[in-house]
Amino acid sequence: MEMNMYPVQQVIYQSPATQRAFYRVKHAQLGIQYGLKEITLADGKGMKEILNEIIALNRLPFSLAAKCHQHWSEGNKHFLLLDWIEGKPLSQLEFSADTDRHELAKQLKIAEMIGRKIMQLHRYRVIHRDIKPENVVVHTDKSGNPIDVNLIDFGLANQPRQLEEGTANYRAPEQEYSRGENLSYACDIFSFSQLIHYLLAGTPVMLEPNFSGSDWHAVSLALPRELPPRLEIVLRQGLQFNYKKVSVRPTTP
C-alpha cells in the first residue's frame, strides 16, 4: 500500500465532521517530508472536487500553494501527497495583550503578508473562497517574528457554486445569501477583513443581516486603540454587505 511508503510523523488535524484529515509524513526511503491530505468520500460525487483541487494547486507556483505530487485511494479514502509547508496555522498562534506594541507589529506584519499572497493569488485569476485562520500557515523564527505565510486548502477554489460553501463568520454574504450569483475577488476581501479583525481582536466581527436583508444590522469593531484610524475605515469597507455598490468593498487587499 502507498501509505506504507509514507509513515505518519504528526497528526495536524482530524475532523470527523468534514471527513478530512491532514498529516505530516516522511518518505520511508528518501526521508523527505510531505503533507498528506486524507478525504473520505461517502459516494463518488466528491471525486470531481478532489480532481478540481489538484488542478487548482498545480496551476499555482510553490510560493502560493503546495504542489500535489501524488493521488491515490484506498477504499473510500483518498489521499493527496503535497509539499510540506513549515509553520503553524494562524488559529494556533498566540499573541499577548493588545497593549504590547511589539506583538501588535507582528500581527500587522502577518496581515500584510497574507494580503500580498491574496493579491498574487488573484493575479492568477484564482478565488480561494475559504480564507480563515485554519487555512493560513505562518512560518516564524525562534522569536516568533513572521517569516512567511501560505494559504492552504484550495478545495473550493476551482469548484462550481455549492449550497454550502466557506466558513461561518468568514464567508462573504454573497457566498451565504446569494446562491445564484457568480463570485468575484471581493469575497476573498471580505474573508481577509475578518481575518485581520481576528488577528487584532481574537475573533471575527459578529455580523447579522438587517430585517430587509439589504445590509448588516450593525458593524461593531473591537480594535486596539493604538491602530491608525485609517485601518478601521479600510476594514469597514472590506466588510460591506453589498459588494456591488460603487467604491464599497474593494476587490484587492
d(CA 153, CA 159): 13
Average pLDDT of the segment spanning 70-77: 92
Res 143: pLDDT: 86
The pTM of this model reads 0.87
Considering only the C-alpha atoms of the chain, give the largest distance between any 2 of them, rounded to a whole number of Å.
61
pLDDT digits (tens, 9 = 90+) for 167-181: 999 999 999 887 777
Q: What pLDDT sits at residue 159?
A: 75
Q: Which residue has the cell 484529515?
A: 21
Model confidence band, residue 123 (pLDDT cutoffs 50, 70, 90): very high
pLDDT per position as a tens digit, 33-73: 999 999 999 876 778 888 888 988 888 998 899 999 999 99
Averaging pLDDT over each range in 137-141, 214-218, 228-232, which range is the top one?
137-141
Q: Can you give the pLDDT at residue 169?
A: 94
The angle at the Cα of 169, spanning 182 to 56, to the nearest 5 degrees, equals 45
pLDDT band for 214, please (50, 70, 90 cuts): confident
Q: What is the mean pLDDT of residues 15-27?
A: 87
Report the DSSP beta bridge partners of residue 38.
Answer: 21, 79
Domains defined along the chain, listed by start: 2-83 (3.30.200.20), 88-238 (1.10.510.10)
The grid cell for 138 is 505562518
Q: What is the band of 245 on the pLDDT scale with cuts at 50, 70, 90? A: low
pLDDT of residue 180: 73
Q: What is the pLDDT of residue 128?
A: 94
